């Protein structure tokens, strides 16, 4: 995904400087996620960006590996982690759908606001499953834009081709659920936030 990496490298400083849009929803996501994690867990986050979520969740587990395809995003993340002194947190540059994921096994894989950005969603889900322990969890929160922005989709696609926007996958929550299940997971929990962000939360167990 060299095109995607270039886009996110260029966007990294602005991304790092942008405040969280919905703080209560973000805090609720963190709290809910920690309920599915244990102190001795080894956790992988894909699409970690500049590491804000990793820094919040790493203290709750034994080892936390945060990955992203953007080297510039990771450079910012590493600076933040070093300043925080979080010793069980490491970062690796890896696309989630190109056979690059860090070596497992992991007790949980976290995928926040990333699945709709993958070029190859099915391969990405397959690779996530491969690095999970038997019964391991995929915890995701995904922007599901299926059924909205239909008129703008050609524009978004054209912008992505010219590097002006990221690749976006337009899925409904039901379609994403079906793709996750087809990849070899059982949905054990789902939440639809019913807000303007169209974010859908799934907790899925490897079967």
Domains of the chain: 2-206 (3.40.50.150)
Q: Are 142 and 116 in contact (CB under 8 A)?
A: yes
- Residue 61, classed as helix, strand or coil, is coil
Could you give the strand order of the β-sheet that contains 63-68, starting from the edge strand earlier in sequence?
Answer: 89-93, 63-68, 42-46, 106-112, 132-143, 199-206, 185-192
For the stretch 113-127, pLDDT in tens is 999 999 899 999 999
Output the pLDDT for position 99.
84
* Mean pLDDT score of the chain: 88
For the stretch 169-200, pLDDT in tens is 778 889 999 999 999 999 999 987 545 457 89
For the stretch 71-124, pLDDT in tens is 999 999 999 999 999 999 999 999 988 888 999 999 999 999 999 999 899 999
For the stretch 144-178, pLDDT in tens is 877 666 666 666 655 556 555 566 777 888 999 99
């Amino acid at each position: 995904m060299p095109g995607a990496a270039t886009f996110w490298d260029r966007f990294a400083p602005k991304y790092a400087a942008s405040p969280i849009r919905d703080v209560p929803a973000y805090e609720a996501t963190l709290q809910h996620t920690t309920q599915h994690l244990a102190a001795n867990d080894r956790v992988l986050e894909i699409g970690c960006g500049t590491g804000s979520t990793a820094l919040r969740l790493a203290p709750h587990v034994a080892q936390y590996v945060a990955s992203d395809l953007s080297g510039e995003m990771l450079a910012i993340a590493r600076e933040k982690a070093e300043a925080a002194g979080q010793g069980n947190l490491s970062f690796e540059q890896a696309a989630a759908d190109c056979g690059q994921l860090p070596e497992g096994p992991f007790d949980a894989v976290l995928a926040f606001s990333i699945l709709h950005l993958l070029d190859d969603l099915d391969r990405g889900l397959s690779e996530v499953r491969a690095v999970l322990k038997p019964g391991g969890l995929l915890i995701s929160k995904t922007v599901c834009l299926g059924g909205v922005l239909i008129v703008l989709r050609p524009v978004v696609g054209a912008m992505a081709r010219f590097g002006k926007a990221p690749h976006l996958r337009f899925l409904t929550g039901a379609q994403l659920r079906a793709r996750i299940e087809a990849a070899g997971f059982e949905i054990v929990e789902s939440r639809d936030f019913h807000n303007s962000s169209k974010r859908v939360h799934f907790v899925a167990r490897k079967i």
